[in-house]
Amino acid sequence: MFAIYSSMSRALDDMVIITSPQAEAFARSMYGALLKKAGKGYDGIPFSTISVEPFNNGEIGVQIPQNLRKRDVYVVHTFSNGGVYEPNTSLMELYLIDDAVRRASATEITYVLPHIPYQRQDMKDKPRVPISARRVMDMLILYSNPPTRIVTFDMHAGQIQGFSQCPVDNLEALPLFLEHFKSDGFPPDITVVSPDAGGVKRARAMAHKMGAGLAIIDKRRLPRDEAEPMGLLGEVTPTAIIVDDMVDSGGTLLKGASLLREHGAKEIYACCTHAILSPSNGTTAEEKFANSGIRLVATDTVPRSDAYLEANKSWLTMLSVADMAGDAIHRIQTGASVSELFRGY
């Protein structure tokens, strides 16, 4: 059953920001952007870190240090810990955090989840398999009272929003990528490449904004996480940018880059919102990219430490979506339009 949402704006004084430990650095950056947007007089918006402690038997204990009664609560959470992607453990943490927040008598709850796991499993592509994306959204929003909202970035498929019983603000990292590539002074003869047919809409939007050509890789899906490029639709210029929502182990991306080189590309970039960077077949993603000649531009929806970024700066550039998230929650709290964030893009 759907909750009823008020169109009235709420006071910034009613806000509370809480964050899981692994999301604290991201949440503090977002919090700074929120305070800047709010202006003078609102530097006292409460901010605290949730206590998440494991028991000896492997269970998880959660405690929120901040009073949430009759407050509009914004919960920031990520599904990686120290750069290690932990979707299952982190989902359980969020499940328990959700219960704690509701029992604390919050008025409204907004989850800021830069990346949500299991989104690629959004349909039955073979017999007797779950639609995991739907079940995960059910876990996130088990109850409709109090009213709840999700803020996230670049869902794998926009229609996954329909799996949720609450409003979902699906923000786009495209403006960050456009600003980055424009500031680098790239030559005008760039081709934006979609790694598969499913990503054409995203690649077409970027190509249009950059005044670039568009090409599409014809990809055949193999068992589990692998895929094999089979052909290329369109022409490729010497500089190519592959654009995708997520890079997992990077194997498919590297195969696509090899195909582009066969068709004349000499300088290859890739941009993705969610850089999971999982190891595969005994090789780390870092080793693959360091030797690939590809420059990857990603966002911090899967946070990385400063030490990691410094060690991998030869191939990885990370842009932060924290400012955009801070602006979005300011707009949500004050009743302003979130879509206005993307006006002009």
- What is the DSSP secondary-structure string of 32-90? HHHHHHH-TT-TT--EEEPEEEE-TTS-EEEE--S--TT-EEEEE--SEETTEE-HHHH
Query: Is 219 known to be catalytic?
Result: yes
Strands 84-85 and 80-81 turn out to be antiparallel
Evaluated on CA atoms 136, 303, 199, 329, the torsion sign reads positive
Asked, for residue 4, whether it belongs to a domain, the answer is no
- The pLDDT value recorded for residue 225 is 56
**Three-class DSSP category at 156:** coil
Q: Are 125 and 57 members of one domain?
A: yes
Q: Are 57 and 131 members of one domain?
A: yes
- The pLDDT value recorded for residue 197 is 86
**What CATH code is carried by the domain that includes residue 26?**
3.40.50.2020
- The pLDDT value recorded for residue 7 is 40
Q: Are 66 and 160 members of one domain?
A: yes
Asked, for residue 101, whether it belongs to a domain, the answer is yes
The structure's pTM equals 0.91
Helices assigned H by DSSP within 238-312:
251-262, 285-290, 306-311
- The pLDDT value recorded for residue 224 is 57
Beta bridge partners of 300: 274
Contacts of 19 (CB under 8 A, 6+ apart): 26, 27, 28, 47, 48, 49, 50, 75, 76, 77
Q: Are 204 and 167 members of one domain?
A: no
Q: Which helix (H) or strand (E) holds 331?
A: helix 322-334
- The pLDDT value recorded for residue 215 is 97
Give me the number of domains the chain comprises: 2
Q: Are 130 and 38 members of one domain?
A: yes
Nearest to 18 by CA among 98, 115, 137, 117: 98
Asked, for residue 7, whether it belongs to a domain, the answer is no
- The pLDDT value recorded for residue 164 is 86
> Rounded CA gap, 206 and 245, in Å?
12
Q: Are 18 and 152 members of one domain?
A: yes
Tokens for 231? 């052909």
**Three-class DSSP category at 231:** strand
Asked, for residue 102, whether it belongs to a domain, the answer is yes
> Rounded CA gap, 34 and 328, in Å?
9
Q: Are 113 and 227 members of one domain?
A: no
Q: Output the DSSP codes for 126-146.
A: STT---HHHHHHHHHTS--SS
Distances (CA, A) of 233 to 53, 195, 196, 217, 260: 51, 11, 10, 6, 11
Q: Are 120 and 183 members of one domain?
A: no
> Rounded CA gap, 163 and 137, in Å?
6
Strands 60-63 and 51-54 turn out to be antiparallel
- The pLDDT value recorded for residue 310 is 96
Q: Are 191 and 110 members of one domain?
A: no
Contact, 49 vs 21, CB < 8 A? Answer: yes
Choose the catalytic residue: 219, 255, 266, 288.
Answer: 219
What secondary structure letter does DSSP report for 225?
T
Strands 239-247 and 190-194 turn out to be parallel
N- to C-terminal Cα distance for the chain? 35
Domain that holds residue 254: 174-319
Asked, for residue 2, whether it belongs to a domain, the answer is no
Q: Are 19 and 154 members of one domain?
A: yes
Nearest to 16 by CA among 88, 109, 86: 109
- Per-residue tens of pLDDT for the chain, all 345 residues: 344 444 444 688 899 999 999 999 999 999 999 999 988 777 789 999 999 999 999 999 999 999 999 999 999 999 998 888 999 999 999 999 999 999 999 999 999 999 999 999 999 988 999 999 999 988 887 666 677 899 999 999 888 888 888 899 999 999 999 999 988 777 778 999 999 888 999 999 999 999 999 999 987 666 655 666 678 999 999 999 999 999 999 988 999 999 999 999 999 999 999 999 999 888 999 999 999 999 999 999 999 999 999 999 999 999 999 999 999 999 999 999 999 998 877
Asked, for residue 262, whether it belongs to a domain, the answer is yes
Q: Are 161 and 218 members of one domain?
A: no
Residue with tokens 């456009």: 178
Strands 47-49 and 51-54 turn out to be unpaired
